[in-house]
Structures are given as structure tokens and as C-alpha cells.
Amino acid sequence: MEKLSRQLELASSYHLLSVGIERAAYYGLRAIIILFMVSETIDISREKAFSIYGIFASVLVLSRILGALLGDLLFGNKSVLIWGGLLQMLGAFVFCLDSKIVIYIGLGLVSLGSGLYGPNLFSQFGKLYKKRNKLLDVGFVAFYLAINAGSFVGVLGIGYLGEFNFKLGFIVAGILYFFATVILIKRPPPIKISSQKAMVYPKNTITLCITITFFISGIYWLSYEQGLSSSLYSIREATQTIENAFLKEIIKNFNSYAIIVFCLIALVYWKYNYLKRIIKIICGLVSAAIGFLIVLILTKNGASSNIPFLLIALTFIALSEVLIAPTINSLLVTYVKSKYLATIYSLIVIPSSIFSSLWGYMALFEYDDIDSILIFCIVLLIVMGVFLYLIRELFIETNNLSSEIEEIGMREQL
């Protein structure tokens, strides 16, 4: 058992290092690409630059689905994610050519490569923990920590380089993509463990749990994005009078710092203390509602410049993200057959995209109507929390709820 634990830590560390480096390259590149497009070198209008970037974001959703299907059904997760990393690397280097056409080529390569890489890496990582239910949540907290730490470092590092030289930023991003891919090529052999029995539940129960998980994800991220935008608006207003640029940046990025800190705390605590996943999600919904409520109270009383209380609100919001996002990933690995992990993971963004589109289409509130937006988000989160509490017994947690237990390391999983 101790040997298997060490093998698991070694195997997962390769994936964590890879995703951290890949996210650093991806978010770092995102931080400078629009600035590059509107620079004198490319000279694209700001409106067109944002339009091009919007198309890039839309294509990314479709490429994730394509990459997942290729990995799950045709070529194997490992092969597809490696090709995805190489395509992203090529896309980053293409940006070094000073031409408008390379913007489209580079964004196309990066979006396609990211779609091939992301879902298949998730699948590979999830399979490591498929039969280790007690370590599953810890594993995905580490996964989420790697993503957030990598993106934070990438935005700061590559963004800083881009201020001096765009090509240097793109070259660094390309090199990071290369190392993120090579790490997975050189990873140790898959862990092989003996077969074990699993409790098999009716397919309709599994389907219902997956459907509810998708719905939870969509509602939470809609509320999170709208509520956090309003909260950050209050933060920007409150920091206008601060002259110290360093302190202002710390306050503006406080949410990112808090997420990383909470991930570290969760890694330690959940390794020795198990809390039911549905309870974690309910606590996360309540935590986000509390954070938005604090911001609402401050704005209603004209105290939105009270920075300490705004930071407390951001702390609750960050805690909610750490409680919910990794747990949703754990639920997917628990309920979904190993063969289709990448495909289902690629589809998890669709509910939030649909809800966000409906939000924009219906235009229920003006963008600056912070009070109404926050009230709506708070009510939505509380209603969802009550609903989940009432159906909590549906989410029975055992070693594995999936009707299929497969050996980690089998050829068809790679």
C-alpha cells in the first residue's frame, strides 16, 4: 500500500507540473495577445481585436469537445494531449512573425491545441484516482491549485515580459508549452493495481447525479461570474484613492491569492479528514452567498470604500470556489465511466455558457445595477443550496459509484 501511495504521488506530480506549466503559458499568452494585436506592429483596431479574441474563446469550447472525442474514442488520451501541447507550442512561436495573418493562425493553433490538451489531461489525472475515493478530492484540490498557481505566475511573468518585448513573451510561452508536453512524454509507467469489486447502482441514478452536477456547475459559475464582477467593481472603486501601486495590485488580485491559500489548506485538511462532497458544495454555495451579501450591505450603506470588509467578502467568495470547483471534478470522476471522462469533462462548460448567454440575451439588469445583480445571485445560490440539501441522500458515496471499474494503466485508457 505504501509503495502504491508513492507511485500515485509520483505519477500525479507529473500531471500537476504539466498542467501548471501549460496554464502559465496559456494565461500568460492571453495577457499579451490583445495588446499585441493593437500594437503598432499589427495595428488592428481595439474593437476588431476583441472580436477576434471572442471568436478564439468560442472555438476553444468546440475544440475541447473535439479533443475529448478524439482522445476517448479514437487515438487515446495520452497521444491526443501530447499533440495538443505541441500545437500550442507551435501557435505561440507563430506569433513571433509580424503579420496579421499569423494572428489567426496562431490563435487557431493555440485554441485547437488547448482543446486537445485540457480534457485529455483531466482524464489521465482522474484515472489515477478512480479507485482511490478518499484521495480523490485531495488530488483535484492539488490539480486546481496547479492551475491557479500556474495561471497567476504566467500572467505576471509573461505579461511583464510582454511590456518590453512581445516576441520574448511568445517565445517564453512556447518554451513552457514544450516543457509541459515533454514532462508527460517522460512520465513514469502507469500504476497497475488489482481489480476490486464496486457497488453497482442503477444507470438512471448515475445519469441523474451527472445531470444535477452539470446543473450545479452552470448555476454556480453564472452566479460566481456575475457576483464577482460586481464585487471587483466595488474593489476598483475603493482603490481609486490608494496611491501605492503595489498595495493597489495586491488588493485587486486578492481573490487569486486567497484561492491559492485555501487550496493549500484544503490539501492538508482533506488528506486526513473526509467531508461528503455534496456537503462541500452546499457549504461553497453558502460561502459565495455570504461574500456577495457583505458586498451588497456595503454598497447599500454607502460603505463600498471599506476595503477590509470587501477583502473579507472576497475571502468567502474564494473559499466557495475551492469548495466547489475541485469537488465537481471529483463527482465527474466518481460517476462517469473512465472511457468517457474527457468527453463529459469537455461538456461541463456548456451549462454555464448557456446560462451566461441567456443572462446577456434577457438583459434582466443594467451592467451597473450592482445591488440587483447581487440580490439575484444570492437568492439563486441559496435556492440551489436548499435544493441540494433536500436531495443530498441521492449522492451516496462509496468507493466508486460508476458501473464500470477499469484497471489504471490498461492500453485503452492511454
Q: Are 64 and 349 in contact (CB under 8 A)?
A: yes
CATH 1.20.1250.20 domain locations along the chain:
2-188, 203-394
Which residues of the chain fall short of a pLDDT of 70?
1-10, 187-202, 302-305, 363-364, 366-368, 397-414
pLDDT of residue 21: 96
C-alpha cell at 55: 471568436
pLDDT of residue 6: 55
Using DSSP, how many helices (H) and how many strands (E) does the chain show? 14, 0
Q: What is the pLDDT of residues 43-102, one digit of tens each?
A: 788 888 888 888 887 888 899 999 999 999 999 999 999 999 999 999 999 998 878 888
Other Cβ atoms closer than 10 A to 204: 8
C-alpha cell at 277: 462532497
Q: Are 295 and 313 in contact (CB under 8 A)?
A: yes
Architecture, CATH, for domain 2-188: Up-down Bundle (1.20)
**DSSP letter string over 207-218?**
HHHHHHHHHHHH
pLDDT of residue 201: 56
**DSSP letter string over 353-390?**
HHHHHHHHHHT-S-TT-HHHHHHHHHHHHHHHHHHHHH
Residue 323: which residues within 8 A CB-CB, separation 6 or more? 280, 281, 283, 284, 287
Which CATH number does 203-394 carry?
Answer: 1.20.1250.20
**Closest by CA position to 305, among listed 379, 235, 243:** 235
**Closest by CA position to 150, among listed 177, 125, 170:** 177
